[in-house]
Structure 1
Amino acid sequence: MDGESGNFARLNRGKRSIAVDLKRAPGKDVFRRLAAWADVIVENLRPGTMRELGLAPDELLQRNPRLVYCAVTGWGQDGPYADRPALDIIVQGKSGLMSVTGDPEGPPMKVGVAISDLSAALYATIGVLAALRARERDGRGQLVDVSMFESSVALGVWEAGTYFTTGEVPRRSGSAHKLVAPYQAVAAADGHFIVGATTPRNWTSFCAALGLEGLEHDERFADATRRRANVRQLIPLIEEVTGRRPMAHWLGALRAAGVPCGEIADYDAVFTDEHLAARDFFVDLPHPTLGRVRSLGSPLRLGRTPVRLERAGPRLGEHSREVLTELGYAASDIETLLGSGAVAG
């Protein structure tokens, strides 16, 4: 919008921006000053790129021993895949995520959000926080090496448990749980809704709510594990009943019976959800050219030190002069850097 990226403004909220050309010698010098001053550097270039630029992480750590340097890459800093390019969908495929996502009879399918990108970012955050905590003890920073691949594989906790215990290779199961049932989407007269009736108490309440008390005494469905083993027989029996009435009826009946259940919302419903609105999850952040930018809030609710969401992301180089001044550059030197193109702003 108006030459500005709305996504950039949302993803970089609260940040300042200095734009530096790392291929120019003056730009490298600016970056070295930043690195000597900074607590944390985060970059996501392919392994070796910073060394080729003359800005190797180990050299920056020598200049600033307290620096925490986080390198986020597709495959990690070493290993046979290290030099491969990586995209979210490529990593989803290689990590096994696509092998367990989607309908069992359908084609390969990726997770609907950029889960490999996002999980790497979350693990990078955890790694940086751990490194900062270690620095409090010994005064030393360190390199934090985070890969999208390992971050995505780390999400396969149930799959790893199954494989390492039994040797069984996990496969796609649609919306269903791999071990227990019913724990999936079921059809109503006007769409699908989610049910999770896996404990004995919930299973009894579920059967009563649907008028299917007879299923409780069917040996095929005697417990959650046997129900999962016979899920192809179970779900049609359930949907023969749930398909007669709309979702709202069944959600009301099941909630009244204390059975876990829920809607399958699209993002129009999510971004106008009354619960999220009541908790002020959505925020409108000021931007110098876009005005107010509607954004997601933070899921972190800290009682004593709440998250501060004060402004949308900056324009590229918006704070270059400000940051250079803080680094100790004279006004004339700042103009020289801007005039040469080594810094933009």
Structure 2
Amino acid sequence: MMLQHLRVIDLTSDLGGYAGALLARLGADVVHIGRSPTTLDPGEIEMATHGKRVLDMALDDPALIALIADVDILFRGDERLPVALAPEALAALNPALIDVAILPFDSDGPNADRPATDLTLMARSGLMTIIGDPDRPPLTLPGRQAWALAGIQGAIAALTALNARAADGLGQMASVSAYRSAVLANYREPLMWDWAGRVGNRTGNLLVRGKSGVRQVWECADGYVTWAFVDNQPMMRAVVARMAADGMAGALGEVDWDAILVADTPRETLIGWEELVLAWLATKTKAELTELSNRHGIGLSAISSVEDVLASEHLAARSLWQDADVAGKTVRVPGPIFRETTS
């Protein structure tokens, strides 16, 4: 395991718990202080605590200070902690400590004291503006994505500080904002605002480029795949050739891909082309389409269902899955992300 030499204390009670769980999956010895979170459902609790040791200890217990004096990384959330656990006090106690605060907002910003939930952070980030169909209300993603993104950024902050400590032996204080983490995940829209002054809109199952939009998600014989008409002439010719081999290319067989721009093609024309592709895809399974894409370069990817992921031979070969007890049931959860191998 990559991080088996690291000792981590996790003081989070909800937000930020995923950061410690990620390091635990990489082999670190992570001790969660206090009872497991009670605001999460059983599955979320397991994802936030899997691989950690839970130590039911009060935050003002002197024994906790003794533990922190001898660890590498500490994660804290937005909970109010005793003065003895203030960053300055812990830095004096353990100069090599990497102290990572995972908060809803910047600790010194105008929203520092505002309440926040995963839903409100997703909305404020702008992600909900672009998720869903244009003629329906905005949506959020399944689960608690802002919370998860903050945990990922917290783990990255800790490992970045760990790399810096290797040079000078000194720890660091890092602060991660769940709000900023969600904004960073919405990378395209902030850039569009900075460069073009445009606010993104929900486009549903259309990828909008130029003057038109093209379909992105398609149904096939046993599920869904992702593909789109794009200005990539070899890819377009490869797709049409496969359709023609099955006698299903229709009008697409007459298109000179070197003479047009898909981005400038009227949507009405694209709809007619898409109907031909949809009919062809309906005759193929995800496995068949993946094989055709790999062999002929048609740029298509299968969309995995939960069942597909759990049954994946590739993930099984990496020993990704581990069994965990969730609310009295044995379920499979992700284990170590990376593994060391010997040759």
TM-score when normalising by structure 1: 0.72
Q: CA deviation at 1:174?
A: 2.0
Specify which structure has the bigger relative contact order, considering alpha-carbon pairs within 8 angstroms and separated by 6 or more residues: 1
What secondary structure is seen at the aligned counterpart in 1 of 2:53? Answer: coil
225, 231, 237: which one pairs with 1:193? 225
Give the equivalent residue in structure 2 for 1:243. 279
Identity %: 28
Alignment of 1:126-205 (within 5 A): 126-179=156-209, 182=214, 184-188=216-220, 192-198=224-230, 199-205=232-238
Q: CA deviation at 1:281?
A: 2.4
Q: CA deviation at 1:17?
A: 2.0
Where do 4+ consecutive residues of structure 1 move more than 6 Å? Answer: 289-292
Cα displacement string for residues 95-125 of structure 1 (whole angstroms, at most 9, x for unaligned residues): 0111111112221101224321121111111
What secondary structure is seen at the aligned counterpart in 1 of 2:225? Answer: strand
What secondary structure is seen at the aligned counterpart in 1 of 2:142? Answer: coil
Conserved 8 A contact 2:95-2:171? yes
Give the equivalent residue in structure 2 for 1:257. 296
What secondary structure is seen at the aligned counterpart in 1 of 2:206? Answer: coil
Q: CA deviation at 1:143?
A: 1.1
276, 283, 295: which one pairs with 2:322? 283
d(CA) in 2 for partners of 1:277, 1:190: 22
Greater Rg, structure 1 or structure 2? 1
What secondary structure is seen at the aligned counterpart in 1 of 2:138? Answer: coil
Q: 1:148 to 1:79 in 2, by over 3 A?
A: same
Give the equivalent residue in structure 2 for 1:214. 254
Give the equivalent residue in structure 2 for 1:298. 336
Q: 1:206 to 1:182 in 2, by over 3 A?
A: farther
Q: 1:217 to 1:64 in 2, by over 3 A?
A: closer
What secondary structure is seen at the aligned counterpart in 1 of 2:275? Answer: helix
Give the equivalent residue in structure 1 for 2:55. 18
Conserved 8 A contact 1:186-1:239? no
1:267 aligns with 2:303: no
144, 158, 170: which one pairs with 1:114? 144
Letter in 2 for 1:144: A
Letter in 1 for 2:147: D
Letter in 1 for 2:157: G
Cα displacement string for residues 155-175 of structure 1 (whole angstroms, at most 9, x for unaligned residues): 222223322221121222224
d(CA) in 2 for partners of 1:186, 1:9: 34
Letter in 2 for 1:74: P
Alignment of 1:3-152 (within 5 A): 5=42, 7-22=44-59, 25=60, 27=61, 29-46=62-79, 49-50=80-81, 54-152=84-182
Give the equivalent residue in structure 2 for 1:311. none
Letter in 2 for 1:193: V
Q: 1:297 to 1:145 in 2, by over 3 A?
A: same
**Number of residues paired by the alignment?**
291
Letter in 2 for 1:281: L
Conserved 8 A contact 2:215-2:228? yes
d(CA) in 2 for partners of 1:89, 1:291: 28
What secondary structure is seen at the aligned counterpart in 1 of 2:185? Answer: coil
Conserved 8 A contact 2:217-2:226? yes
Letter in 2 for 1:37: D
264, 279, 292: which one pairs with 1:226? 264
Letter in 2 for 1:294: R
Conserved 8 A contact 1:185-1:193? yes
Q: 1:42 to 1:214 in 2, by over 3 A?
A: same
The runs of 5 or more residues in structure 2 that have no matched partner are: 1-40, 244-248
Give the equivalent residue in structure 1 for 2:28. none
What secondary structure is seen at the aligned counterpart in 2 of 1:65? Answer: coil
Q: 1:53 to 1:102 in 2, by over 3 A?
A: same
Conserved 8 A contact 1:104-1:173? yes
Q: CA deviation at 1:77?
A: 1.1
d(CA) in 1 for partners of 2:268, 2:128: 22
Q: 1:263 to 1:21 in 2, by over 3 A?
A: same
